[in-house]
Amino acid sequence: MTIMKKEEFEFRDLLNHPWKLFGYSYLYVLVILGGLGLYYISQLTMVGKNNILPSVSPDSVMLVQDIPMQPAASVPPVDMRKVGAPTTQLISRGREVFRASCVGCHGETGNGDGSAGATLNPPPRNFRKPDGWVNGSKVSQIYRTLQEGIVRTGMSSFNYLPPDDRFALAHYIRTVVPVPPADSPDDMIALESTYQLSKGSTTPAQIPIRIAMRRITDEFRTESNRLRAAITKIKTSDAISAHFFKSHVADEQKAAGIFLFCAKRMENVDVFERIVASDPPGSGFRPSVVMLSKDEWKLLFDFGMSL
């Protein structure tokens, strides 16, 4: 009995059935795909990191913002007797401000058809329609609308406009309101007591803390440099007045200090004498100064003022 040993690779068979080739090659494809997958996964953190915008600070402490630079502003007091009644002046000023700040939403004619208001809900008010006002069309009510805005609508606060301009706007808007209701004296009194308009107000100027700190440091540095220069002069000057000064000084720093930093108060030798004689050690001098003559005080004073 002969045993037919089958060859491991039957090339003829493979030629007849080429799809069998796939049976061997898919292993390689699998390995390559697996390798690519592993590589992709190993690079994932880099991919993720690249998605973070470079402007994001890695430390949120760095995000603290300084206070902004702001010039001093003063809001002039409002004359409540004048702003309540419309004048041609107020109305034409109102038209000007309206064109600058309101037409975008309320439209040229106040019909509420400005292009910027097209998508707003509720839509900008048509001033010609009498019903549905939230605050109303009295002068005091429009003023309130401009001061506070209407919450959760496109009508934001315009409290940065000067009060006079806001009254001007109110009067201008009322020229297109069909029957504008009048304010009672009580309405205006209430407005005044809410916003204290006749007092006016001032906001002090403010500079960023970063700049303020730098200025303080610079100032301190100049002052201490001046003081150091003055002390050196007392110690090293060869003038007779310098020697005289030195012989009556107990503490150069204090003595120089009263000339440098109290110079404005020290108008003349009499004031100087009064200040120093009342407390010689406190001003850096020896107690013996109280015995000095007028001329000697003058010598001390002149040298001090030259520091």
- Could you list the residues that contact ligand HEC (CB under 6 A)? 101-102, 104-106, 116-117, 120, 122, 124-125, 133-136, 142, 145-146, 150, 153-155, 158, 169, 173
Which of 34, 162 has the CB closer to ligand HEC? Answer: 162
Burial (CB count within 10 angstroms: exposed 0-12, middle 13-18, buried 19+), residue 191: buried
Task: Using the minimum distance from each CB to ligand HEC, give the nearer residue, 120 or 277.
Answer: 120
- Closest to ligand HEC by CB, 133 vs 244, is 133
Give 83 or 102: the residue with its C-beta nearer to ligand HEC. Answer: 102
Alpha-carbon span 194 to 159, nearest angstrom: 14
DSSP letter for 206, please. B
Tokens representing 108 are 């040229």
Q: Which is nearer to ligand HEC, 136 or 181 (CB)?
A: 136
Amino acid present at 148? E
**Cβ 160 to ligand HEC, closest distance in Å?**
10
User: How many helices (H) and strands (E) would you count in the chain?
Assistant: 14, 2
Q: How far is the CB of 93 from ligand HEC (least distance, A)?
A: 12
**Rounded (10°) CA dihedral 296, 297, 300, 302:** -100
Task: Supply angle C-alpha 268, 274, 278, rounded to 5.
Answer: 155
Nearest to 260 by CA among 298, 304, 303: 304
In this complex, which beta carbon is closest to ligand HEC, that of residue 155 or of residue 249? 155
As measured in angstroms, the least distance from the Cβ of 165 to ligand HEC is 9
Residue 25 or 119: the one with the smaller Cβ distance to ligand HEC is: 119
Tell me which amino acid residue 202 is.
Answer: T
| Amino acid at position 93, single letter | R
Q: How far is the CB of 144 from ligand HEC (least distance, A)?
A: 8
Minimum distance of ligand HEC from residue 194's CB (angstroms) = 16
DSSP E strands, the chain: 73-75, 201-203
What length is written for the chain? 307
| 145 sits in which H/E element | helix 139-148
Q: How far is the CB of 124 from ligand HEC (least distance, A)?
A: 4
Closest approach, Cβ 82 to ligand HEC, in A, equals 19
Smaller CB distance to ligand HEC: residue 135 or 237? Answer: 135
For 198, residues 6+ apart whose C-beta sits below 8 A from its C-beta are: 77, 78, 79, 80, 192
Q: Of 123, 176, 118, 169, whose CA–CA distance to 147 is shortest?
A: 169
- Sign of torsion over alpha carbons 66, 68, 72, 75: negative
Question: Taking the complex as a whole, how short is the minimal distance between the CB of residue 72 and ligand HEC, in angstroms?
Answer: 24
